[in-house]
Structures are given as structure tokens and as C-alpha cells.
Amino acid sequence: MNRFLISFLLILIGACASQKATNTTGHTRTKPVQYLDRNTFLLTEVSDDETYAFTPKNPVKVGSDDGGGPLNERRLLNALLGPNGEHVEYYRAGSCCPFKTPNGLLDNTGLLDRYRVSWQGAKDTLDIYINMYDKGDLKIPVGFRAKSKN
């Protein structure tokens, strides 16, 4: 099993080798994570950075101490609404963009996950990049809204 996992990771890293390695590491979470429910983050702050979430150099950092990276990716995406409150649909388009992080699996390397995100009436499908290894403050990407407690 471990040989299979290592081989798989090496193939993924090799497949992404044509893309420049990105340094997206750092534990910069200054605010506690809040939850709307078990599967949804409560996001209250809109990012003022138009690159946040939309570029490999500035991914959303959803890492946690409990290893809940993939679940946290879905919690983030489940919290998002379209610009007029539309239900957001997403799918994982794959991993990309190797980067160094002390929280990575093999040789301190991590891979970003790229999700394709859309909503009814959207002119295009957007890419959102997520780093599941490192922690950062969670914000609403520019152009989106978020579910609330109401």
C-alpha cells in the first residue's frame, strides 16, 4: 500500500513538473475557524485580494491539526454562494502545482487541489486553488458570498 501511494504521488508530482513550483506555505491563521454545520465553514470576511483562491500563488489554506484537509476543502466550498446568493456547484479537477511545506507528505512536498466552481447563470466556470496542508485565515473570495447562520 505505501509503495502504491508513493508511486502515485511521484507520478502526480511528475505530471505537474511543467508548472513552476509555488511556495504557498505558512501557518498564518490568526482567527479561530468557525462552522455553520459539520460540513460547512462559517465565512464572515470577504478577501480584498482579487488573487486569493484564484491563483496557485495565493490558494486558500484550509489545513488543520487533525488531518482534515480534504473535508476542510469541501467545508470551504460548501460555504460559498454565487454573487447573488446562488447555489454553487463544484468538482475537483485534480492536483497541481507542487510546493515545499513541512506539512507535506513526501520530501516535504504538497500539491494544491484545483476545483472548478460555477452557479446557475454564471458566464464561466472558475478555478479555485486550495492548500490542504497549511493553515491560513479563511475568507470569502472576491465575487462570492457565503452562507450565514440566519
Per the CB < 8 A criterion, the answer to whether 56 and 112 are in contact is yes
Q: What percent of the chain has pLDDT over 70?
A: 82
Residue 12 has pLDDT above 70, yes or no: no
Residue 5 has pLDDT above 70, yes or no: no
Q: Which range has the worst mean pLDDT, 5-14, 50-59, 134-143?
A: 5-14
pLDDT for position 22: 44
pTM, full prediction: 0.82
pLDDT (average), residues 61-67: 88
pLDDT (average), residues 41-62: 98
Query: In angstroms, what CA-CA distances link 76 with 7, 12, 27, 28, 69?
Result: 29, 24, 17, 17, 11
pLDDT for position 31: 87
pLDDT class of 29 with cuts at 50, 70, 90: confident
pLDDT class of 76 with cuts at 50, 70, 90: very high
Amino acid at residue number 76: L
